[in-house]
Amino acid sequence: MQNKHTVIVLIFIMISTIFPNAFAQPDVSIVLGKTTYSYCEKLFYTIEVSEVTGDPAIIHIRDETGKGSSAIPIQISNLQNPVPSLIPFESEVFPLGTYYIDVEYSGAKNTVEFELLDLGNICIPSWIKQLTYYWVTEQISDVSFSDGIEFLIEKEIIKIPETKRNTGEIETEIPRWVKVNAGWWIEERISDNDFAQALQFLIKVGIIII
């Protein structure tokens, strides 16, 4: 019996020597793209693990009041796993302040934090891109698009810097370059600030009246 016990101990020692991480808990960490964000920016972070176990990482994002998201499972297939957000921060959804990202992976846990600040950037809600898409693809007219944008500006859903119309300068249709800019904005090739300049032009020449 003693010899059998000795053999089992020796086997355990050999396994531990050959596979030192076989019984170790994996490490997990989150590397943020940056630690401060503003409205209309998208959260980006990377989940880093010491080994791939086959388990998903479970993410929770919460604010400083403790209010948080539902569990977000992230498939872990590499030691470094980038996680880009598809939805930007918008004021209607995310209040300013400190946010925390909690991760749990194969028994290991970690937390990082970031700040959401109002940096004064022009921020156009992402759902407005649907209206713009209809216009760019000629499903609605210039007039319908202008009326829609005018309404959104009046209701302060779209906020752009105050712009005065040029006296005596009136355009009857939207120039082609504005539609090109709108297409680039839909494709995220230009920023909200850049597209707002096109809207300012439409106000300036009297196509949009606010």
Rounded Cα distance between 71 and 74, Å, is 10
The tally of domains found in the chain comes to 2
What is the structure's pLDDT at 123?
79
For 156, the domain range is 128-204
Whether residue 87 is found in the same domain as residue 190: no
> Block means of pLDDT (10 residues each) for the chain, length 210 residues?
55 53 78 93 95 96 91 96 90 91 96 92 82 92 88 79 66 83 92 87 82
Is residue 122 included in any domain, yes or no? Answer: no
Starting from the edge strand earliest in sequence, which strands make up the sheet with 97-105, in order?
36-38, 108-117, 97-105, 57-63, 72-74
Are residues 132 and 82 part of one domain?
A: no
Residue 76 lies in a domain: yes
What integer pLDDT is reported at residue 81 of this predicted model?
A: 97
The reply to whether 16 and 110 lie within a common domain is yes
Residue 189 covered by a domain: yes
Reading the block at residue 185, the tokens are: 């904005």
d(CA 123, CA 185) in angstroms, rounded, equals 12
Residue 151 and residue 106 in one domain: no
Q: Are residues 74 and 139 in the same domain?
A: no
Q: Is residue 154 part of a domain?
A: yes
Do 108 and 42 have their domain in common?
Answer: yes
User: Which residue, of 117, 138, 166, is where some domain finishes?
Assistant: 117
For position 86, which CATH number holds? Answer: 2.60.40.1930
Q: Would you state the pLDDT for residue 149?
A: 87
- The pair of three-digit structure tokens given for residue 206, joined into one six-digit string: 């009297």
Question: Of the candidates 83, 117, 151, which is a domain's last residue?
Answer: 117
- pLDDT attached to residue 169: 58
